[in-house]
């Protein structure tokens, strides 16, 4: 095995590892959009972000994680848009958004979302973030609390609290994704299989993220160096941890809801937030792994709608 990996590295061409050029953001296929939704783009923080929007009322911005795109929120958009103006962007480097060579630290992602809020003509919005999107949402709330009405963190871990030591029971994928060049090489041509395997592994309800969704995610990650930009979210984690440590004394003064999957982050998410939030509500999603919105949609949508609408 070691010999075959070494041989592959030795014969790899530089083009396999080149920095991705910025791509022009596009518009989603209409057949993918929830009823009444539109797909468009906005210039923010020096890049073009694609987003899907539906509904009217208080603004709710949905931030997806890896290995997903805005499409992870397809059912959530349909559910919440009867009461809220729902906006689901593709984070930089994913989906139909532009793919710059840098900026995958969560401070930059937060600046992207702050710029999007401004471009949409909003003073603030409810922010819901899952996985990497949850990390960015947490940083946004710390750095720019004036932009965040209420904050919902969904089965993510606060930067610096991830259990990355695989030798002592930690998640192995952190080190793999953070390694330079190797994950791109080993997943090339196998993007869908790798994404599907990771999603199934992190799910308790194994078929909740269906094949149609996996096809949609893999289509984008397999194109235009999408796996590289996706792995860059992980490569930025040490920088993210340093930032959040420096911001620890800043209080989260808005209302905060944490939702951990019973078989996912569990109580670890709330444990990482509790001593930094003035008004925290903690929920565990029963029967759910990492993908709470897809695995237990009724629980998720009812909990979120109740939290965002409460006086």
Mean pLDDT of the chain: 92
Condensed to tens digits (0 to 9), the pLDDT of residues 164-174 reads 888 888 899 99
Q: What is the DSSP letter of 204?
A: S
pLDDT of residue 168: 82
Condensed to tens digits (0 to 9), the pLDDT of residues 100-114 reads 999 999 999 999 999
Q: What is the CA radius of gyration of the chain?
A: 18
Q: Could you tell me what percent of the chain has a pLDDT over 90?
A: 87
**Stretch (H or E) spanning 261:** strand 252-261
Question: Are 261 and 275 contacting, i.e. CB atoms less than 8 angstroms apart?
Answer: no
**Placement of tokens 């609290």 in the chain:** 161
Token output for 152 = 């919902």
Query: What are the b/e assignments for 129-152, b being 16+ CB within 10 Å?
Result: bbbbbbbbbbbbbbbebebbbbbb
Beta-carbon contacts of 144 under 8 Å, excluding residues fewer than 6 positions away, are 110, 114
Find the farthest-apart pair of alpha carbons in the chain and give their distance in angstroms, rounded. 62
25-309 maps to which CATH number? Answer: 3.40.50.1820
Domain boundaries defined on the chain: 25-309
Residue 10: is its pLDDT beyond 50?
no
Q: What is the rounded distance in angstroms from the CA atom of residue 2 to the CA atom of residue 4?
A: 6
pTM for this structure?
0.92
Q: What is the rounded distance in angstroms from the CA atom of residue 305 to the CA atom of residue 302?
A: 5
Question: Are 284 and 201 contacting, i.e. CB atoms less than 8 angstroms apart?
Answer: no
Residue 5: is its pLDDT beyond 50?
no
């Amino acid at each position: 095995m070691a010999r075959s990996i070494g041989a592959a590295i030795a014969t790899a061409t530089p083009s396999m590892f080149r920095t991705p050029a910025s791509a022009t953001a596009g518009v989603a296929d209409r057949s993918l959009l929830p009823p009444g939704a539109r797909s468009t783009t906005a210039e923010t923080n020096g890049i073009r972000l694609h987003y899907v929007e539906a509904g009217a009322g208080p603004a709710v911005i949905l931030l997806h994680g890896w290995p997903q795109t805005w499409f992870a929120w397809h059912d959530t958009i349909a559910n919440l848009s009867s009461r809220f103006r729902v906006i689901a962007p593709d984070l930089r480097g994913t989906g139909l958004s532009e793919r710059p060579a840098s900026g995958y630290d969560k401070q930059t992602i937060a600046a992207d979302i702050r710029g999007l809020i401004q471009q949409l003509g909003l003073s603030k919005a409810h922010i819901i973030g899952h996985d990497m999107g949850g990390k960015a949402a947490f940083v946004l709330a710390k750095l720019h609390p004036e932009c965040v009405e209420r904050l919902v963190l969904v089965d993510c871990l606060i930067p610096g609290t991830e259990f990355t030591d695989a030798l002592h029971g930690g998640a192995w994928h952190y080190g793999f994704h953070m390694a330079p060049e190797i994950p791109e090489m080993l997943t090339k041509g196998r993007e869908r299989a790798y994404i599907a395997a990771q999603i199934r592994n992190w799910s308790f309800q194994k078929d909740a993220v269906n094949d149609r969704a996996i096809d949609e995610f893999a289509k984008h990650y397999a194109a235009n160096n999408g796996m590289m930009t996706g792995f860059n979210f992980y490569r930025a984690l040490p920088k993210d941890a340093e930032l959040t440590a420096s911001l620890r004394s800043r209080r989260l003064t808005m209302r905060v809801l944490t939702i951990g999957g019973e078989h996912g982050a569990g109580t670890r998410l709330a444990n990482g937030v509790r001593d930094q939030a003035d008004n925290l509500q903690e929920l565990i999603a029963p029967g759910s792994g990492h993908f709470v919105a897809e695995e237990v949609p009724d629980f998720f949508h009812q909990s979120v709608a109740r939290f965002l609408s409460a006086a």
